[in-house]
Amino acid sequence: MTGLATADDTIRKEVARRRTFAIISHPDAGKTTLTEKLLLFGGAIHLAGAVKARKAARFATSDWMEIEKQRGISVTSSVMHFEYNGYRVNILDTPGHQDFSEDTYRTLTAADSAVMLIDCAKGVEAQTIKLFQVCRRRGIPIFTFINKLDREGRPPLDLLEEIERVLGIRSVPMNWPIGMGRSLRGVYDRMEKRVELYEEGERRGIRVIPVQGGDDPAIREVAGEALAEQLAQELELLDVAGDPFDHAKVLAGELTPVFFGSAINNFGVRTFLENFLRLAPPPGPRKSADGPVEPTDGKFSGYIFKIQANMNPQHRDRIAFLRICSGRFRRGMTVRHVRAGREIKLAQPQQFLAQEREIVEEAYPGDIVGLFDPGIFRLGDSLSEGRDVVFEELPVFSPEMFAKLAMKNAMKHKQYQKGLAQLAEEGTVQVFRTAGPVEETILGVVGQLQFDVFEYRMKHEYGVELELTRIPYRFARWVAAEKVDPGLFRINSTLVRDKDGNPVALFENEYAMRTAMERMPDARFLETAP
């Protein structure tokens, strides 16, 4: 009995010290830089490769795919982990580029909280809104880091007002800037009553002055009369009109703590990290077909939320990323692959720092483990120990751009089939087939860049050159009906099948879609696969 209690205690302790979060932002808000600085604190890396210095052949740790290096953008979600002050931190770095929203949305299902990064000059941008909404729907806590304080930006009060107006979430500033851009002197920590002084250039340590409050004479000495006066007025306004800090509301996703800083200069990052680790939740229960699965449950369970082919171009391998939901994961353990209905052995589990990997001996709920995939896993697959656990299905998002696909060299048919199947399973593109006498392959994506990446990867990873011909459809709707007549989809629309054989109608415009709905009153037209 003692052994069992000890095992349970270990799981409980390990769950309590884990923080698994995603960083969400619009492109160019500084996400990769912030990730690198967090990794530096955790000792996971010793050198920050400035993302912009591409020519120096030193790329951001989290952007590892060739096309990412060429364009300076993240197109796949990376997974990174480090230890800090007794916490085990798992970061899911998601692509900021809108065209990769699908991969990002799926990755967000594996996070227990999110860090929203905002550029102080630009405020809340389009992609941030989309990603925020996905997090909001899941009810996960959101922490905000307003970045690039060393540059001229919008007044902080305006930024808070915009967060509340555009995103519909209340905010509580945990610190407050003293100046901005050239006049930046530091930030006032509202919780600890201290000033962190800003000095140009990247530093590991930051000078801190304890103060009695926002009107302490010591602030005048370091910031000058005008900035000290401004700070005192703004703090008074926040105290009177702002929201008080309420941890329960933060955990419920109703209130976002806001931190100001400059990731590139390492200013405010440590304070943010330490507060985040203290306030963010550990892994919580996960929904399954049989009710919630608690992380402290002694039996292992988890699900596949991402599949990535060719992470090592030398070996042409496929890695399935597993989010552990309960119990203890051990290298070499035998688990049940629920969809396939059979037992499998997890022989070479890996953890990553972008493409750097290490073998994992054990892992706990909240951790992300990479499993070698010989082609047996699909997105959303559940793995469990001693029972069948089926976690909630991962969402599939409706594509908005379509292209016909053809090979330039018919001799490469085998490589073509393999590449198409693997990249579709990864979620890079969605594949549809026409129903006519001559079967055609149609690709569906959320944004143009996905086509570019698909073409690039087919050529460089599978040796297949393609011809993509854009077709004018803009909407895809899965048709749920007893019988679907393809003849109803001839004008400005067509009927195709997805990878599982489900009927999908593609429409050129909303009028064509409305017409089809009127002709088929008993059918349901769904944005995601049934």
Asked if 347 and 406 sit in the same domain, the reply is no
At residue 431, the 3 state secondary structure works out as strand
Spatial contact of 407 and 457, defined as CB atoms under 8 Å apart:
no
| 476 within domain boundaries | yes
Integer Cα distance of 135 and 148 in angstroms:
24
Which tops the pLDDT comparison, 440 or 529? 440
Spatial contact of 93 and 367, defined as CB atoms under 8 Å apart:
no
pLDDT of residue 77: 45
pLDDT of residue 98: 54
Spatial contact of 362 and 331, defined as CB atoms under 8 Å apart:
yes
Whose tokens are 């976690």? That residue is: 391
Give me the residues paired with residue 267 across strands: 262
Looking at beta carbons, which pairs linking 6-10 to residues 24 or more positions away fall under 8 Å? 7/298, 7/328, 8/296, 8/298, 10/328
Of 74-78, 94-98, 196-200, give the lowest mean pLDDT range. 74-78
- The letter for the amino acid at 466 is L
Asked if 376 and 332 sit in the same domain, the reply is yes
Instruction: Dig out the tokens for 91 from the structure.
Output: 């970061």
DSSP state of 45: -
Integer Cα distance of 255 and 523 in angstroms:
40
pLDDT at 101 over 50: yes
Asked if 275 and 286 sit in the same domain, the reply is no
Domain coverage including residue 349:
1-15+282-395
pLDDT at 56 over 50: no
Asked if 5 and 148 sit in the same domain, the reply is no
At residue 305, the 3 state secondary structure works out as strand
| 130 within domain boundaries | yes
Integer Cα distance of 50 and 47 in angstroms:
9
Asked if 40 and 161 sit in the same domain, the reply is yes
Strand bridging mode 18-24 / 113-119: parallel
| 342 within domain boundaries | yes
The domain tally of the chain equals 3
pLDDT of residue 122: 94
Asked if 370 and 431 sit in the same domain, the reply is no
DSSP state of 288: B
pLDDT of residue 324: 95
Whose tokens are 């750097």? That residue is: 356
pLDDT of residue 316: 58
Integer Cα distance of 379 and 303 in angstroms:
8
Spatial contact of 188 and 175, defined as CB atoms under 8 Å apart:
yes
Say which CATH number the domain at 327 has.
3.40.50.300
pLDDT band at 294 (very low <50, low <70, confident <90, very high): very high
pTM: 0.79
Q: What is the mean pLDDT of the chain?
A: 84
Tens-digit pLDDT profile for residues 459-471: 988 999 999 999 9
Q: Which residues, including other chains, have CB under 8 Å from residue 216's CB and lie 6 or more apart?
A: none
| 215 within domain boundaries | no
What percent of the chain is predicted at pLDDT more than 70? 86
Asked if 411 and 324 sit in the same domain, the reply is no
Integer Cα distance of 229 and 208 in angstroms:
20
Cα four-point dihedral sign 12, 14, 16, 21: negative
Integer Cα distance of 331 and 244 in angstroms:
46
CA 127-128-132 angle, 5° bins: 120
Asked if 289 and 266 sit in the same domain, the reply is no
Asked if 254 and 292 sit in the same domain, the reply is no
pLDDT of residue 312: 55
| 209 within domain boundaries | no
